[in-house]
Amino acid sequence: MGEGLSDYTKFCVDLRRHMWMAGVETELRRLIWQIAVTGKYISAKIHESNRKLAGFRNMYDEDQLALDRSSDEILKNQLQFSGFVREYASEEQNAVVPIGHGNEKYFVTADPLDGSSLVDTNLSIGTIIGIHRESMFCAGKQSMVAALYITYGPLITMVYSAGKGTHEFVLNREGEYVLSEENIRLKEKGSIYSLGGLRKDWSPEHLSFVESLEAEGYKLRYSGGFVPDINQILIKRGGVFAYPGLRNSPKGKLRLLFELQPMAFIMEQAGGAATDGTTDILAIPVQDLEQRSPVYIGSRFEVDRAKEYLNAKNGR
């Protein structure tokens, strides 16, 4: 499939047909399709949510919404009977969960409901998925074969990559994911930035980086949700999301396995980049479920500039 499809042609191409035409292997495209369908069930659960806390704490000692737990159970149960997944790791689980018979090909990681604290304000939230082969405890570039995220907003959209570009699908009224944007490519340089962490806790190097963007007229766009902020940068074709190391939390906030690896995979397939300031996100080995990392992700210009400012600290 090439660029320049007419709107009519795009909306005749559903997810399964697109993956088949792109040459995604059979088991992987069935798995991606099943996860996409599971997103419809999570969306239905969001709409019926009463926003009450479940009365539990997750492994990161955060308030855990009933919605988080429900989304996690929906995903785990759907994958358990897929026949393709050996192990499942989720932000809502204390350990890796074996869900297959031990000979399945894929390992799935999930942030089942990123930004769930935004539900009561009716802002967009999402699901983040990473798909690995062989193991999930290594550098992403060694194990990742696909990644996707689903955005639950005014529209339900799914962005996926199976190593053959980055593509967006919209859930239509008939309940099918239909092609909206194929082979999304970021511009070399964007004009928006999303920044996490309190300014008073930033390092001098990170502050200088941000001030350099502000001097060039970059516009601040930050929702407090990783999925909608990344989605905005991708769909607007450029910019940067940054959650730096902070004075009291030098590893930042976002988890390498559940959030950063999948988004880095998707962004790189769209011509972008992702780094912790010195090392590409997909080159950082995963050692445990709770591992966190600073992140600068988006267009190459802004990510390269972040490296320059942060490495100046070490005289590199």
- Asked if 209 and 307 sit in the same domain, the reply is yes
User: What is the rounded distance in angstroms from the CA atom of residue 266 to the CA atom of residue 272?
Assistant: 9
Q: Greater confidence, 184 or 312?
A: 184
Is there a domain that residue 186 lies in?
Answer: no
Q: Which domain holds residue 172?
A: 7-181
Q: Looking at the domain assignment, is residue 278 inside a domain?
A: yes
- Tell which of 124, 155, 181 closes a domain: 181
- 181, 202, 228: which is the final residue of a domain? 181
Is 286 in the same domain as 168?
no
Whole-number average pLDDT of the chain: 92
Residues 237 and 274 in one domain: yes
User: What is the average per-residue pLDDT within 283-310?
Assistant: 98
State which of 130, 161, 181 marks the end of a domain. 181
Average pLDDT over residues 131-139: 97
1 occurs within a structural domain: no
Measured in whole angstroms, the distance separating CA 297 from the mean position of its chain's CA atoms is 11
- CATH number for 138: 3.30.540.10
What is the pLDDT at residue 52? Answer: 54
The structure tokens listed for 53 are 């806390």
Q: What is the pLDDT of residue 2?
A: 41
Closest CA to 146 of 255, 238, 263, 21: 263
Query: Is residue 210 domain-shared with residue 71, that is, in the same domain?
Result: no
Which pLDDT score is estimated for 264?
Answer: 98
pLDDT digits (tens, 9 = 90+) for 253-283: 999 999 999 999 999 999 999 999 999 999 9
Percent of the chain with pLDDT over 90: 84
Question: Structure tokens of 81?
Answer: 């009977």
Backbone angles phi, psi at 257, to 5 degrees: -75, -45
Q: Interhelix angle for 204-215 vs 300-311, to 10°?
A: 140
Per-residue pLDDT, 1: 41
For the chain, what is the domain count? 2
Residue 205 has pLDDT above 70, yes or no: yes
Residue 70 in contact with residue 45, Cβ under 8 Å? yes
CA 45, 51, 52, 57 dihedral sign is: positive
Q: What are phi and psi of 266, to 5 degrees?
A: -65, -45
